[in-house]
Structure 1
Amino acid sequence: MKQYRVLIQPEGRQIDVQEGSTLMKTLKEAEIDLDFPCGGGGKCGKCRVRILEGNVESSDMEKRFLQEKEIQEGIHLACFTKIYSDISVEVSKYNPSQHNILLANQEMQVKIEPHICKKYVEIEKPSLGDHRSDWNRLCDKLIKQSLEDIRKLEADIQLLRKLPETIREAKYNLTAVTYGCEVLEIEGSDTTQRMLGMAFDIGTTTVVGYLMELNEGKELSVVSTLNPQTKYGADVITRTNFASRGDSGLKTLQSAMIKSINNLITEAVEKAGVDRGDIYAITIAGNTCMHHLFLGLSPRYIGQSPYIPVISEPVVLGAADLHIDMNEVGKVLVLPNIAGFVGADTVAVLLATEMDASEDIKLMIDIGTNGEIALGGKDKLFACSAAAGPAFEGAQISSGMRGAVGAIDHISFDKTLSYSVIGGVKPQGICGSGLLDAVAGLLDLGMIDKRGNFISQEKEKKPEAEAFIGHIVQHEGMKAFLLVDEASTSHGRPILITQQDIRQLQLAKGAMAAGIKILLEKQGISVEDVKEVLLAGAFGNYLNPHSACGIGLIPKELEGKIKMIGNAAGTGAKLALLSANQYKRAASIAASVEYVELASYPGFTNIFAKSMYL
């Protein structure tokens, strides 16, 4: 079979590929971070590239997504483009620094109780009158100094092999690194002040890491990046399907995540000016799919009814088991899941918010591709997952994009239309919070009805709507709202709110609203009984609460009770890192929450259908 050369610009990188290979496959194998929100299924039209040289014909499938002007400029979709000649292709790589990644945490107070302990000991030298073994001498000292009821310590053969030389080279003064009853390492001299850890929140879209000093609980640095798995799909279902294509798919996704975690560790220690070898523990919080992919566990049966995970309990592994670039004897502590679609990230949020100890009834909402909802207090907690789809992340929206530089993030309809753009540049698209504002504004003006349909020009609208009538245009035979004309965008394409975009938002909004209604029914309470609404996660902290309540995403009665709580999953992961007790409490929370499967709830179809109304 023939081979052709692909020159990837602006990197100037050259790759040989087999005839007929797709450009998407080529870019993935070259580890080029082009985004494929639909996993390369040809459904989203987002994987745009520019062919600079070479013979590439536009397929009929591509023409569904591309304008004639784009085709003339050499724009193609990587998932449809097959290689039958030498080509040069321009790819716009993602830059994590250009994305709005939520880093802020709640203030937290916790008693420091590290999982890994360091104990400095001065061991008696052996003599003809004291024939105790080296191991026995070490254990006697450690047990005497321990505040816990430890009667026997353990060690592996590797530690025992180096024990005699280490003890003598250190002149019988050394530091023991312990995890429970296990001695993990022995270090010469007093190293008790060098003990670090990292807490990771692995989201479907982003990954955030917090480097912590474990003796005092001080945060040393915060790092973040886009989840590298996004190029295999924007949502967990797409990634689950990819991972289920034999061992290679699962290994690919796990390797991408481990590499990303290691890169973040490198960045974090460089920012703080410390040594990665002093990291002895990391905690991991993520939804159930991200949890499984990190551990290399198949998520296949999470995606199939009845949606069963491999494991829900906490998992503790050695750093070497996962090839994490930290101290080789360190521990990786993964928080527990609640169910197939309510994962360790929700457990971390509940841990951080202490909803399990609250006298008041609180509602926690984490709005995303999989919207997680929890309701209750100290007496009972219910949780569910609402399959909101990727609309809030900008996928499956005609001009949608993530919250990155160039994204319209907020819109207002005053006397004139105004909007803000992340980075203050020419707009490139619209992210979830902007779409929410747009639809809420159109509804408030009477330009769309409660079914989400554009109202005909003959029908009565609010007088304020007159200023925006000129924005109604025809798009693919249907009405759409022109948000930004082509002359004002960065790419020369108009940014529209189409009828299909509104439908996608209604589906996402309907799923979330139905989940809230069902949890209220399960708890046996009314909306008025909820004392506080906690909005977690990136989208929840960037949205306009008035817009969310305006379209019924959140009950209108709760608008004055909404509180943004930042990256609460990250806060929970930090708590679990700093305190072994909090990690145990996370397991208790996960076991006590009652999971509600919405699809099997009586009357769910009718509740969901009604919840789609704006």
Structure 2
Amino acid sequence: MHEQETALLQADELAEGIRLACLVEVSGPTTVELLAEKNMQHQILLSTSGGKAQIMPQLTKRYLEVDKPGLEDHRPDLQRIKDSLAQQGISVTKTHFSVLQKLPVVLRKDKFKVTAIVHEKELLGLEPGNTGDNLLGMAFDIGTTTIVGFLIDLYTGRELAVVSALNPQTRFGGDVISRITYANQNEHGLAQLHTAVTEALNTLIGQAVEQAKIKREDIYTLTVVGNTCMHHLFLGIHPRQVALSPYVAAVSEPVEAEPAKLGLEINPAGKVFMLPNIAGFVGADTVGVLLATELDRSEKSKLVIDIGTNGELVLGNKDSLFACSTAAGPAFEGAQISCGMRGASGAIDHVTFSDDLQFSVIDNVSPLGICGSALLDTVAGLLEAGLITKRGKFVEPDKVTNPTGQKLKERLIEHDGSWAFLVAQDPDGKRIMVTQKDIRELQLAKGAMAAGIRILMNNSGIGYDEIDEVLLAGAFGNYLNPRSACIIGLIPGELEDRVTMVGNAAGAGAKLALISSEEYHRAAQLAKKVKFIELGSNPGFARIFANSMLLPGP
């Protein structure tokens, strides 16, 4: 990053990856995303769907009126605290060193009236007076593209604020592999990626406390989910092995840390809880989804699909769970698509084929490009209208026989020596279209997902008729049209009437683990229960993937 960029651009602009074109040195093939509006707003999925849990916070607060020392009572201050806690049924066997440093002063500040902060059997903090009414926490879902945080009252479970932002790590790479590469190739790469995400969390914490009109010190607990790479970068663990065969994580079990160790600005006596991973490319976010959807408690078999650059799939029920990850690529997010863009203001997000083409645009403004959900709709519509074959190849206009296709064939235009389909034009007259290459990119992405589903079914022995429900999680899953997904074979057509959107289920799982220590510990057992299937080592994957790239057709 050039120092002039630091001086001329705002911190949030730098975090979004915005750069001064005149200062960028190009050393190889480069893709540049031009923003029509500097402060373009992105759609970030905030809503959550999840189960219920008994409120049982990880940390507890206990108000104590401690016996004062006297000539006949020489117990040390710490022993007096322990004895007072024991009277309330709490046994403390460990004390944080910071408590010892402040103990004499804090204990006498309000005449031996204090509030103890306890986690399991450890005394984490002491506060003068009765602060028992303040016990808040935040649950974070750190996605590759976006970060969402939920501020929660840990006594009632009430949501006090929801905040979100683009993940500032995007300036180091748009996907996990490019970020791992950056960490590998730059001396301070890991530290930069770690700092970027922790600073983003601190900013979001600041926004949340401002919304709720509270203080940072009122927040004592954080729970965090994210894919395995985001998990490692957040904790400052190098993720290099995640990208190398056999793709192993550095750690899979839950991780607990002090906020100061991670550079997080909440109550220093607080605690950060990171949910467990399942495998190298199936992370804590998938565990959060499973917590929220309670797949491990379901009598009936269900299929969970979380679609993104990496697609995570889980199939099973309370008896057994099978999971895999597919490298779907960026097509679902509008990347590497000729007129593609993220789900931001000006993006065409849905397309409908009838006598004429109809589409909707995010924020109802003039169209600027097409995002993943609209690409899905368009290819599905082209297939049904007979404008493309099951191999994804455009049919020449004079060979179109389908009645709907004949009404729309004038939208077939020549582009780079091939055919393309005109969807719209932007305010400057630039054509917004879907090209032959775009269809190919979508076929690769949907082929990977469909192959993953087929291999999970093969390994679990669960057939179409036994899958009771298909749960679509995550941003793309929430915004796509299930019918379009089934038409192109992303989701098996036999399951179309069983699709349910569950929103930001990863965030919902993080919230459950925040308000309930029981759910947090259940997450660890759940992660161990899942059997991970490595698609690359599956002998039939190449064949199944090739077949899955085909589009359903006559």
TM-score by length of 2: 0.95
- Matched with 1:287 is 227
- Matched with 2:538 is 601
- 1:31 and 1:350, CA in 2 relative to 1: closer, same or farther beyond 3 A? closer
Query: Separation in 2 of the partners of 1:604 and 1:420?
Result: 37
Query: Separation in 2 of the partners of 1:566 and 1:394?
Result: 20
- 1:30 and 1:434, CA in 2 relative to 1: closer, same or farther beyond 3 A? closer
- How many angstroms does 1:247 deviate by? 3.5
Query: Separation in 1 of the partners of 2:39 and 2:241?
Result: 31
Query: Separation in 2 of the partners of 1:394 and 1:43?
Result: 19
8 Å contact from structure 1 (residues 35, 47) kept in 2: no
- 1:564 and 1:42, CA in 2 relative to 1: closer, same or farther beyond 3 A? farther
- 1:142 and 1:328, CA in 2 relative to 1: closer, same or farther beyond 3 A? same
- Matched with 1:33 is 17
* 1:115 alignment partner AA: Q
Sequence identity, in percent? 52
Secondary structure of 1:178's counterpart equals strand
Residues 441-460 of structure 1 show CA distances to partners (whole Å, capped at 9, x for unaligned) of 00000100000000123434
Query: Separation in 1 of the partners of 2:480 and 2:14?
Result: 36
Query: Separation in 2 of the partners of 1:31 and 1:354?
Result: 35
* 2:531 alignment partner AA: E
Mind listing any 5+ residue stretches in structure 1 that lack a counterpart? 16-25, 50-90
- Matched with 1:46 is 32
- Matched with 2:402 is 462
Query: Separation in 1 of the partners of 2:19 and 2:549?
Result: 29
- Matched with 1:106 is 49
Task: Spell out the pairing of 1:159-308 with structure 2 (5 A cutoff).
Answer: 159-308=99-248
- Matched with 1:371 is 311
- Matched with 2:502 is 565
Query: Separation in 1 of the partners of 2:157 and 2:522?
Result: 18
8 Å contact from structure 1 (residues 201, 570) kept in 2: yes
Are 1:144 and 2:90 an aligned pair? no
Query: Separation in 2 of the partners of 1:44 and 1:528?
Result: 47
* 2:18 alignment partner AA: L
- 1:198 and 1:31, CA in 2 relative to 1: closer, same or farther beyond 3 A? closer
Secondary structure of 1:531's counterpart equals strand
8 Å contact from structure 2 (residues 96, 125) kept in 1: no
Query: Separation in 2 of the partners of 1:197 and 1:491?
Result: 48
* 2:529 alignment partner AA: S
- 1:32 and 1:421, CA in 2 relative to 1: closer, same or farther beyond 3 A? closer
- Matched with 1:71 is none
- How many angstroms does 1:44 deviate by? 6.3
8 Å contact from structure 1 (residues 199, 570) kept in 2: yes
8 Å contact from structure 1 (residues 399, 495) kept in 2: yes
- How many angstroms does 1:496 deviate by? 1.1
- How many angstroms does 1:153 deviate by? 2.7
Residues 290-325 of structure 1 show CA distances to partners (whole Å, capped at 9, x for unaligned) of 111111111111111110111111110000001101
- Matched with 1:542 is 479
8 Å contact from structure 2 (residues 308, 328) kept in 1: yes
Residues 19-61 of structure 1 show CA distances to partners (whole Å, capped at 9, x for unaligned) of xxxxxxx99996673289xx98865633337xxxxxxxxxxxx
- Matched with 1:65 is none
- Matched with 2:368 is 428
Secondary structure of 1:244's counterpart equals helix
- Matched with 1:123 is 66
8 Å contact from structure 2 (residues 143, 230) kept in 1: yes
- Matched with 1:396 is 336
Match of 1:530 among 467, 471, 474: 467
- Matched with 1:22 is none
8 Å contact from structure 1 (residues 400, 429) kept in 2: yes
- How many angstroms does 1:469 deviate by? 1.0
* 1:582 alignment partner AA: E
- How many angstroms does 1:124 deviate by? 1.2
- How many angstroms does 1:129 deviate by? 2.0
Query: Separation in 1 of the partners of 2:16 and 2:332?
Result: 25
8 Å contact from structure 1 (residues 369, 388) kept in 2: yes
- How many angstroms does 1:169 deviate by? 1.8
Q: CA RMSD in A?
A: 2.2
Match of 2:392 among 442, 449, 452: 452
Secondary structure of 2:46's counterpart equals coil
8 Å contact from structure 2 (residues 306, 474) kept in 1: yes
- 1:421 and 1:570, CA in 2 relative to 1: closer, same or farther beyond 3 A? same
Residues 428-478 of structure 1 show CA distances to partners (whole Å, capped at 9, x for unaligned) of 110000000000000000100000000123434311111111111111111
Query: Separation in 2 of the partners of 1:309 and 1:537?
Result: 22
Secondary structure of 1:216's counterpart equals coil
Secondary structure of 2:490's counterpart equals coil
* 1:316 alignment partner AA: E
- How many angstroms does 1:173 deviate by? 1.2
Task: Spell out the pairing of 1:305-344 with structure 2 (5 A cutoff).
Answer: 305-344=245-284
- Matched with 1:502 is 439
Secondary structure of 1:605's counterpart equals helix
8 Å contact from structure 2 (residues 50, 293) kept in 1: no
Mind listing any 5+ residue stretches in structure 2 that lack a counterpart? none
Query: Separation in 2 of the partners of 1:391 and 1:44?
Result: 17
8 Å contact from structure 1 (residues 44, 396) kept in 2: no
- How many angstroms does 1:388 deviate by? 0.2
